[in-house]
């Protein structure tokens, strides 16, 4: 008869082997569709290729990308978009989450309405917004401005308003899912904290500042990081709304990558800029996480 320790060891080995065999298909699919494209892109960044003819050029692709005067424009536009998205888009889901948390009877239907923009396909919603931004007097937004005696605005046709218009569209499409995450965090906060604060005479703003925001700090820091990374990868909104215009005022880094690959036909330069963007975002994320952990320990 086998000793109990040996039988336990065989049982653990068998369960581990079974778990490994179950995970093999998922690991294989992840490697094929995630890691292989990354490694392939890394190789292409050192080649001059249109996916038909290929030649090894070393770091020449990186030198050409860095010498492109449009790179500075795309970087500045992307940074402007990130700042505007942070100032406008970041507080909006927090505000709606706090409002939903204060609701009792209509919280479910209100949550559905807040989440609804996320359900609409992005291309459909963006094209609808493009109709709303019609620069003529017939446009929805210009019609509203006309009621107050304001002249029509060239929303997407002017460099001064195009980027702001794109930020509004992106904020509308993304705030719903983020608000639901914040709402889940808010509902997990111990209600006794608010009751104690009310007994001490704290008003709603003091309760939000001293209880709500500190309890949501971890979620806020994480979603802030994800939003910043996402803003530097914006593509769909400027591509469909403005195509990078007017006068390249809304060209972003991902749009520049798209142009390198599908307009200029040089996938090597596109891969090189993609690699530089990935490295830059990785460094930023590492520094951000280090600073957030250091701040959280205080």
> Residue ranges per domain, the chain?
4-42, 45-87+232-298, 90-188
90-188 in CATH: which number? Answer: 1.10.3720.10
Q: What percent of the chain shows pLDDT beyond 70? A: 92
Collect all residues with Cβ–Cβ distance below 8 Å to 167 and sequence separation of at least 6. Answer: 81, 84, 85, 88, 89
Q: pTM here?
A: 0.84
- What are the backbone angles phi and psi of residue 54, rounded to the nearest 5°? -135, 135
Length of the chain in residues, anyone?
298
54: which strand partners?
Answer: 49
Q: Residue 187 in contact with residue 97, Cβ under 8 Å?
A: no
Q: Is the pLDDT of residue 38 over 80?
A: yes
Could you report the per-residue pLDDT of 205-225, keeping only the tens digit for each?
Answer: 787 777 777 788 888 888 888
28 — pLDDT class (breaks 50, 70, 90): confident
Collect all residues with Cβ–Cβ distance below 8 Å to 64 and sequence separation of at least 6. Answer: 269, 272
Could you report the per-residue pLDDT of 50-103, keeping only the tens digit for each?
Answer: 777 888 888 999 999 999 999 999 999 999 999 999 998 888 888 888 888 777
Q: Is the pLDDT of residue 10 over 50?
A: no
- Across the chain, mean pLDDT equals 84
Could you report the per-residue pLDDT of 145-192, keeping only the tens digit for each?
Answer: 888 888 888 999 998 899 999 999 999 988 888 888 888 888 888 777
Alpha helices by DSSP H, listed for the chain, are 4-30, 36-44, 60-67, 69-84, 91-102, 107-119, 122-132, 140-147, 159-187, 191-199, 204-207, 213-215, 217-231, 236-241, 253-258, 267-296
């Amino acid at each position: 008869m086998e000793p109990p320790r040996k039988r336990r060891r065989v049982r653990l080995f068998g369960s581990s082997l079974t778990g490994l065999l179950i995970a093999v298909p998922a690991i294989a699919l992840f490697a094929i569709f995630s890691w292989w494209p990354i490694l392939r892109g890394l190789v292409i960044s050192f080649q001059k290729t249109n996916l038909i003819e290929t030649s090894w050029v070393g770091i020449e692709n990186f030198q050409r990308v860095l010498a492109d005067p449009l790179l500075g424009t795309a970087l500045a536009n992307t940074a402007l978009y990130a700042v505007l998205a942070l100032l406008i888009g970041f507080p909006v889901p927090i505000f709606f989450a706090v409002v939903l948390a204060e609701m009792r009877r209509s919280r479910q239907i209100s949550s559905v309405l807040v989440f609804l923009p996320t359900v609409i396909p992005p291309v459909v919603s963006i094209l609808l917004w493009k109709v709303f931004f019609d620069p003529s007097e017939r446009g929805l937004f210009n019609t509203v401005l006309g009621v107050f005696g304001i002249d029509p605005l060239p929303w997407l046709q002017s460099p001064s308003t195009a980027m702001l218009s794109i930020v509004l569209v992106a904020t509308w499409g993304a705030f719903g899912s983020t608000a639901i995450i914040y709402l889940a965090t808010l509902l997990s906060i111990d209600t006794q904290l608010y009751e104690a604060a009310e007994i001490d005479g704290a008003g709603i703003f003091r309760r939000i500042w001293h209880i709500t925001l500190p309890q949501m700090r971890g979620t806020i820091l994480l979603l802030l990081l994800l939003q910043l990374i996402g803003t530097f990868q914006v593509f769909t909104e400027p591509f469909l709304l403005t195509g990078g215009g007017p006068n390249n005022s809304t060209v972003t880094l991902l749009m520049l990558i798209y142009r390198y690959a599908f307009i200029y036909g040089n996938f090597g330069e596109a891969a090189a800029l993609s690699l530089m963007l990935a490295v830059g975002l990785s460094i930023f994320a590492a520094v951000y996480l280090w600073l957030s952990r250091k701040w959280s320990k205080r």
